[in-house]
Chain A
Amino acid sequence: MAGAAALVEADNANEIMARIETKSQKIESLLKHYKHVEALKTALDGSPLTTYDERCKSANWIVVHRAIMAIKDIDGMLNSLAAEYYDILMKYLYRGLSTGNEPTCEQCLIIHEKLIERAGLGCILRCLSDTNSV
């Protein structure tokens, strides 16, 4: 039983990795056309929250990180981002803050402050209490 579940998980992981690969190519083309907000939305869509596979999570993080670092106009980005993306974006911001890399942390801190003004403290608490991590 456990063996069968592990096999299903592995298949799912391969599917997720393939999806992330196509997503990454789509985001590169969006960034070339300066469509930063669409790139971020694409990166956040379909994030592997429920899987246990670290490779999938790391691969998706790399893609989201690329989209986050490309953003210059943060107010404009948050204006056009739908509220349903706030929680998942907050999770990725905390992941970015835990890396310790200075440019990433700086960008994440700026976005964090602006996001809190819009989403409120509930966003942070949902991020802290959710068992589905990124």
Chain B
Amino acid sequence: MANSLRLYLACIKNTLEAAMCLQNFPCQEVERHNKPEVELKTSPELLLNPVLICRNEAEKCLIETSINSLRISLKVKQADELENILTKKFLRFLSMRAEAFQVLRRKPVQGYDISFLITNYHCEEMQKQKLIDFIIQFMEARYRERNKRLEGVSEHQRTTRCDRVSETVHVKQHLRYYNVTPHCINHSLFG
């Protein structure tokens, strides 16, 4: 299990190292505009082949590259409804603070849980190796937290908490595993 995770992360790391060859490329369609080509997909000659790396049916990573930008979309395994709710809440919490992360995309790509968008500007300001390490460490931290959470919650607690209408109380308790303060939770859940 641990070995397959190590291989999966190593594969993603190697693919990112090869795919992260970005340079500045102004928009060909509109003057004075500079857009991430991987998002717009207007010209096929600017795009590389997208690569899908799956560990199993539930976990996958889609890496799409273009001349000036790279998009990484991740889907993580969710064992049941409770985990689905927690993951959605947590990743939504992160996506709303996407500006602080800089490389995070506000909305994940359809069919995935979270997406990163790295442009040539990010590669100029930050080191390429550090960007790749950040993404890999993000994934490792997710897996570690998930394993810790699965040990902490008993079967009975999982079924009762799923059935209850006021799930937000229990969501708050679990979000504390991620060291998220109550103020931030209230702001993210209730606006």
Q: Which residues of A contact B (CB under 8 A)?
A: 94, 97-102, 105-106, 109-110, 112-113, 116, 121-122, 124-125, 127-130, 133
Contacts and interface: CB of A to CB of B under 8 A. Distances in A.
How many interface residues does chain B have, given as a range?
Answer: 20 to 34
Contacts of B49: 127-130, 133
Contacts of A100: 54, 56-57, 60
A14 B136 CA distance: 45
B18 interface: yes
Nearest to B4: A106
B14 interface: yes
A97 B52 contact: yes
Contacts of A133: 49
Nearest to B48: A128
Given A113-B10, A121-B17, A128-B65, A105 B56 contact: yes
B11 interface: yes
B7 A109 contact: yes
Nearest to A126: B18
B15 interface: yes
Q: Is the interface of B mostly helix, strand, loop or mixed?
A: mixed
B123 interface: no
Interface string B1-23: 00010011011001101110100
Interface of A, secondary structure class, is: helix
B37 to A, nearest CB: 14
Give the top 7 A-B pairs by smallest Cβ distance, nearest first.
A124-B18, A98-B52, A109-B7, A121-B18, A100-B54, A128-B48, A102-B56
Interface of B: 4, 7-8, 10-11, 14-15, 17-19, 21, 48-49, 51-57, 60, 65
Contacts of B4: 106, 109
Contacts of B60: 100
A125 B21 contact: yes
A94 B8 CA distance: 12
B53 A97 contact: yes
Contacts of A105: 54-56
A129 B48 contact: yes
Nearest to A125: B18
Nearest to A95: B52
A124 B18 CA distance: 6
Given A121-B18, A128-B18, A128-B65, A112 B11 contact: yes
